Amino acid sequence: MKHRRQSPAARVGLLAFRAARLGLLLGAIPASVVLAVYLCIAGTPAP
C-alpha cells in the first residue's frame, strides 16, 4: 500500500494553520504581560 502525497493546497493549509497557532501562542505571552501592566497602572488611584 503506497502512501499518497498530500496535495499542495492541503499542505499549504496545514502549514498556515500551524503557523497561525504558533503565532497566537507567541502573541499571547506579551499580550498577557501588557494586560497585567495596564491593569496595574489603571488600578492605582491618581494622586
The model's pTM: 0.51
**Of how many residues is the chain composed?**
47
pLDDT at 31 over 90: yes
Averaged pLDDT of the chain: 87
Taking the CA of residue 21 as centre, how many other CA atoms within 13 Å lie in the half-sphere pointing to its CB?
Answer: 6
Domain ranges across the chain: 8-47
Q: Region 22-47: what's the mean pLDDT?
A: 88
The C-alpha angle with vertex 1 and arms to 12 and 7, in degrees rounded to 5, equals: 15
- pLDDT band at 2; cut points 50, 70, 90: low
| 3-state DSSP of the chain | CCCCCCCHHHHHHHHHHHHHHHHHHHHHHHHHHHHHHHHHHHHCCCC
Please tell me which residue, 6 or 42, carries the higher pLDDT value: 42
At residue 24, the pLDDT reads: 92
